[in-house]
Amino acid sequence: MNRDRPGVAVEALSLEHFRLRGLEHGRLTGVSIAVHAIADAFLLMHCGVGCKHKATSQLSTHDWGRGVVEREGWTEVGDAELIAGAADRIGPYLRSWARRVEPGLMVVISVTFLDLTGDDTKFVVQEEAPTVDPDVIYIEAAGHKGDLHLGYATALLELVRRMDWRAPPRRPRAVGIVGYLFDRYEGDHAGNLRQLQRLLADTGLEAGPVMLSGVPWADVQAIAECGLIVQLPYMGPRAKGLRRALRSRRPVIDTMLPIGLRGSTRWMQAVAKGAGADVRRATLKAAARARSVEVRLGPFAARLKGLKVAVFADLPLLAGLLSLLDELGVHVVVAGIRGHSFGGRAELETAVTAYGAPGLDEIEVLEDPSLQLGTTTIATHIGHLDGVLASSAEINALATLGQEALHRAGRGPFVVEVGFPCKRYHAVSNQPAYGFLGVFTWAQRLLDAPRLWDSGLDAG
């Protein structure tokens, strides 16, 4: 346990509490990612000038597939507007942007310093919404609590609430997926979405829309036509809200991420069971897929077996990676849980167990670690650590230790960018992380991973 418990007195807080963390993105960033994931949505930020960076800066680093700045605006609040009252600015900006960009959906957020003035932004947005053509949704995104994942899940829930679930499903056999974290228009997501379709087909089910997947708002709403809903873990922080919104009108099947052979198999089994499909058929199909992957992977597997790595990822992804890496024979020495929306070590243990992977006894687990803690922990293992899987934030911090601190036999550790944001990893072609084919992507990325430094003189 490296984190101070919630509710600890200020006088007892440790320095770790105050340090900059690996995932230091609040709800606004999560909402921004959700809006970006709807092709024709527009984000209006009722905020000050610096808050704009929470939405654009790192997302534009992360997504090379689609521009970020063209579909967002801000209400330009400064000190003068604060004194005079700022909420009445929302209407004119909403209408101007609606006319200019003609979005299918407009999402409005506010920030803490404006909430402190007592303005009822949500009410103002509701008042102004009828003056524009597109749907308008207000989403709470103040930056004093919650992380990116809470913001993303909250956005999903607000979108779900906008849909009409009262009518009987027009596609009763179709499975809609809620809680897919679509953070860029690149080949990793194209590959994942294809894999989800394939897993459903192998389970004998019809694939419906995925929330979210880069399609326009009208197409997102088609998920309400589905007879079944699969909930991925990224809906987790708002899972109860989702069930309340659906009010038993659709069965909701709670699943892990389909990562690795075990993860994909168990995902299919869970969905088949929840959908009342043939679980045995799904299991046989999964076994055949897994066997096919194992055969193709065979000659390369020995190159991965025995590698020692540190992994930093959000909890759902981390659990999937721990299972996958175990399947590949890669030993995880340090596991850092990025963010706090999904819990800490105990929740990770539960998630890993759900994959059927070994527990965490042999792993040093860091909960929502600071960049400093993550970096120094990796440094203590550097003599016997081969690589690091982490976001560009942790990798960048690690690199600042310098070549001398990190080298082993003329080389630094290999680095595989995962999570948000990625600076160097961009996927032109389909590179799924999910499904049976996703195992090839991970194996390929591990084999090809660049090193922080490489003299090129190692014996191979």
Question: Which of the residues 110 through 129 are near another protein (CB under 8 A)?
Answer: 111-113, 116-117
Choose which of 2, 3, 26, 320 interacts with another protein (CB under 8 A). 26
The CA distance from 16 to 2, in Å, is 8
Choose which of 203, 221, 265, 391 interacts with another protein (CB under 8 A). 391
Residue closer to another protein (CB basis): 37 or 242: 37
Among 50-58, 158-166, 189-197, 355-363, the segment contacting another protein (CB under 8 A): 50-58
List the beta bridge partners of residue 408.
411
Question: Which of the residues 134 through 173 are near another protein (CB under 8 A)?
Answer: 142-145
Give the x-and-dash track for 70-99 against another protein (CB under 8 A): xx-x--xxxx--x------x-xxx-xx-xx
Q: What tokens were used for 12? A: 């007892």
Task: Give least dist CB 101 to another protein, A.
Answer: 6
Is 291 a residue that touches another protein (CB under 8 A)?
no
Q: Tell me the number of residues near another protein by CB under 8 A.
A: 76
Choose which of 213, 392, 431, 441 interacts with another protein (CB under 8 A). 392
Give the x-and-dash track for 333-372 against another protein (CB under 8 A): -------------------------------------xxx
Beta strands per DSSP E along 169-307: 171-178, 206-211, 226-231, 252-254
Q: Which residues of 106-118 are buried (b: 16+ CB within 10 A; e: fewer)?
A: bbbbbbeebbeee
Question: Which of the residues 413 through 432 are near another protein (CB under 8 A)?
Answer: 421, 423
The CA distance from 18 to 15, in Å, is 5
Among 56-64, 174-182, 279-287, 452-460, the segment contacting another protein (CB under 8 A): 56-64
Closest CA to 74 of 47, 107, 96, 97: 47
The CA distance from 3 to 18, in Å, is 10
* DSSP assignment letter at 384: G
Which residues, 6 or more positions from 241, have their beta carbon under 8 angstroms from its beta carbon?
157
Is 216 a residue that touches another protein (CB under 8 A)?
no
Is 50 a residue that touches another protein (CB under 8 A)?
yes
The CA distance from 6 to 13, in Å, is 10
List the beta bridge partners of residue 175.
207, 228
Is 100 a residue that touches another protein (CB under 8 A)?
yes
Choose which of 1, 2, 3, 25 interacts with another protein (CB under 8 A). 25
* DSSP assignment letter at 306: T
User: E strand or H helix at 416, and its extent?
Assistant: strand 414-417
Among 44-52, 186-194, 222-230, 348-356, the segment contacting another protein (CB under 8 A): 44-52
